[in-house]
Amino acid sequence: MKTQIKNLAEELFDKTRERRRHLHRNPELSYKEEQTATYIASVLKDIGIPHQSGIGGHGITAIIQGELGLGRTLALRADMDALPIHEQNEHNYCSQNSGVMHACGHDVHTAVLLGVAEMLWRLRKNFSGTIKLIFQPAEEKMPGGASLMIADGVLKNPQPQAILGEHVHPELDAGMVGFKPGMFMASADELYLSIRGRGGHAAMPHTLVDTVYLAAQIINGMQQIVSRRANPIVPTVLSFGKIHSEGGATNVIPEQVYIEGTLRTMDENWREEVHELLHQISSDLARAFGGSCELKIVKGYPPLVNDEKLTRFFMQSARDFLGEDKVVELPMRMGAEDFAYYARELPACFYRLGTGGPNKDFRSPLHTPTFDINERSLLTGLGLMCWLSIQYLENKP
């Protein structure tokens, strides 16, 4: 079976590369993936795989039933949305939608899953059990397509016993993969602060409430949560990426200042405590200097926890398929992923697919306008996900 899968991956490599390039040329933003979904559905139809569309928005699901018996069910997930980034690469497959780009590799995830679907469809006479394909919209924007598809019943009829997903990783060479059993990625909350005071002439500070000064004090005060209130062994990140005002000039203090930021952590109880501290500190500091502050916290994705036993099973299976030197254990990451919602519902494994090239090529980070992949990584993506799927169905972790 291993040789058969590797040969199938080689056979479908060119087709998968063209599918990836088509998706890369035609990116669509979160919740707007109508044409992407239409394309995915057309590919599944051409292969002959029955599918359902319109799940949780533009989501698609499909079932591949092994013909050797019922067995267990494994879900495979790929996301399909792009980012509001203007691409700066110079390839014939660059984005044709100005200001929209697949800068996080979701085109890769989707193309690989389509290829794996075709492989498993051809191999269905050789295995028992069920594969459920999940093509998910809106990973990049809250509330996240995963939560919407789950609410729409994607994990029912049939109910998977486990779920597997991958993500591109430019820090690893193509041909390599990385796994992290247990806690892997952080929660993500959005912070929106509105600071109000009495504006006026900057040369007469005694007559006004300086909202810009208040903003600085609130940012500094909130950062003390990380440095002085957080347990040092619990990863916590508090960052502010945007600050602006209505009005204001070199000699004008504005009446309102707005701040936007993000909170990341790995512990749900501590996460809730930080929310309370953020409200308390921002309100108390603003009031102490004669102003006011309204804080809105948009609670985002939970921490992503890979099932320990399942992930170690897949790690060993990956070593068997790729070789010992091609599989590494990764550290925790403070990025967030809505795959975490699936991981709260059933045992899950989310792993990283190396996409870097030789001589440090293809190393632009995710979410940048020059991100691209070494397309040989598609070959690894195809073979490995197909192999892991069949290993799970045939060997109970």
* Residue entry with tokens 């519902």: 345
Question: Are residues 352 and 177 in contact, defined by beta-carbon separation less than 8 angstroms?
Answer: yes
Confirm whether 210 is a catalytic residue.
Answer: no
* Distance (Å, whole) CA 204 – CA 213: 14
Choosing from 28, 33, 79, 81, the catalytic residue is 81
Q: What are the tokens at 9? A: 């991956």
Q: Report the C-alpha dihedral over residues 385, 391, 394, 396, rounded to 10 degrees.
A: -110
Label residues 224-233 b or e (16+ Cβ within 10 Å = b): ebbeeebeee
Confirm whether 139 is a catalytic residue.
Answer: yes
Residue 83, SS3 per DSSP = strand
Cα–Cα separations (whole angstroms), residue 93 to 89, 115, 324: 9, 19, 34
Question: Are residues 12 and 114 in contact, defined by beta-carbon separation less than 8 angstroms?
Answer: no
Choosing from 33, 139, 337, 372, the catalytic residue is 139
* Distance (Å, whole) CA 121 – CA 111: 15
**For the chain, where are the alpha helices, taking DSSP H only?**
2-25, 34-47, 106-123, 145-151, 211-224, 268-288, 308-322, 339-345, 377-394
Cα–Cα separations (whole angstroms), residue 23 to 103, 124, 143, 335: 12, 27, 23, 24
Nearest to 165 by CA among 396, 389, 393: 389
Question: Are residues 369 and 101 in contact, defined by beta-carbon separation less than 8 angstroms?
Answer: yes
* Distance (Å, whole) CA 397 – CA 387: 14
Question: Are residues 188 and 262 in contact, defined by beta-carbon separation less than 8 angstroms?
Answer: yes
Active site residues: 81, 139
